[in-house]
């Protein structure tokens, strides 16, 4: 039996009201955070906030700092090495970058290694992204152009290729250790200062934010 017209109007009005009060939080983060830590933290929070959408985009830390301070993003996850004027920050996590290679590669016998010693090796890299730009910048500072055999979309596929002896790669340590459970992968820490990054979660220091944004900021800061 068709529902009364008044009841249909109330339902339609309720749906429109729900859509009207939806909120979007603009979250910007670097590659390591997006690939490793953030998903496990965001999923339960988003599940508890059904009226909130997350606009998550990957950026380099200096871009994140500028966007959040200017109000173009609501929350950022960035390296402490970035300029942080105009930001309110809380510690998030420590991200370490390592070399991965096949267990038969000479790197597998090294306790650690400086980046310049591997810069002439054949590499695998990401197709694009903030971390890839960061790695290429370090090569530029050494006046070296890295030789890429292949560029892939995920760290997992890069680790698989490294284990197969295709080349070496720079990846976050936590991801490398996870991939070593299923691949014959060698992990060699990088000694360079840029390979260890203290990450912070940040919001604008001088701009008002919504209670929902504040709640997510505090949730991420508890990581």
What pLDDT, on the 0 to 100 scale, is given for residue 85? 83
- Per-residue confidence (pLDDT) for residue 15, from 0 to 100: 45
pLDDT single digits (tens) 59-71: 988 899 999 999 9
What's the chain's Rg over C-alpha atoms?
22
* Residues written for the chain: 223
Distance in angstroms (rounded) separating the CA atoms of residues 128 and 102: 23
CB atoms within 10 A of CB 11: 11
Per-residue pLDDT of the chain (223 residues), as tens digits, is: 455 555 554 554 444 444 457 899 999 999 888 988 899 999 999 999 999 999 999 998 889 999 999 999 999 999 887 777 899 999 999 999 999 999 999 999 999 999 999 999 999 999 888 889 889 999 999 999 999 999 999 999 999 999 999 999 999 999 999 999 999 999 999 999 999 989 999 999 988 999 999 999 999 998 6
d(CA 60, CA 128): 12
Q: How far apart are CA 173 and CA 189, in angstroms?
A: 8
Provide the token pair at 198: 């203290």
| Closest listed residue to residue 58, CA positions, set 38, 44, 43 | 38
Would you say 163 and 184 are in contact if contact means Cβ atoms under 8 Å apart? Answer: yes
* Model pLDDT, residue 83: 73
Backbone torsions φ then ψ of 59, nearest 5 degrees: -145, 160
Q: Please give the model's pTM, rounded to 2 decimal places.
A: 0.78
Q: In whole angstroms, give the CA distance from residue 187 to residue 145.
A: 23
Query: How far from 189 is each of 9, 77, 132, 211, CA to CA, in Å?
Result: 63, 23, 18, 41
| Contact by Cβ (8 Å): 129, 171 | no
Pairing of strands 87-102, 185-189: antiparallel
Contact 152, 161 (CB under 8 A): yes
């Amino acid at each position: 039996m068709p529902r009364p017209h008044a009841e249909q109007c109330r339902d339609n009005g309720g749906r429109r009201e729900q859509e009207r009060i939806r909120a979007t939080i603009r979250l910007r983060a670097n590659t390591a955070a997006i690939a490793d830590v953030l998903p496990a933290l965001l999923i339960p929070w988003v599940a508890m906030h059904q009226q909130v959408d997350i606009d998550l985009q990957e950026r380099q830390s200096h871009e994140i700092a500028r966007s959040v301070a200017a109000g173009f993003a609501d929350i950022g996850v960035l390296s402490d090495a970035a300029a942080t004027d105009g930001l309110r920050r809380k510690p998030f996590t420590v991200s370490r970058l390592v070399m991965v290679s096949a267990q038969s590669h000479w790197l597998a016998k090294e306790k650690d290694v400086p980046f310049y010693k591997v810069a002439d090796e054949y590499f695998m890299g990401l197709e694009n992204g903030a971390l890839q730009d960061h790695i290429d910048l370090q090569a530029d500072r050494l006046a070296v152009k890295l030789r890429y055999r292949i560029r892939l979309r995920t760290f997992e596929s890069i680790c698989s290729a490294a284990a197969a002896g295709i080349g070496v790669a720079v990846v976050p340590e936590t991801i490398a250790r996870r991939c070593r459970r299923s691949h014959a992968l060698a992990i060699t820490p990088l000694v360079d200062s840029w390979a260890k990054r203290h990450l912070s979660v940040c919001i604008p220091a001088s701009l008002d934010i919504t209670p929902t944004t504040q709640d997510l900021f505090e949730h991420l800061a508890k990581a």
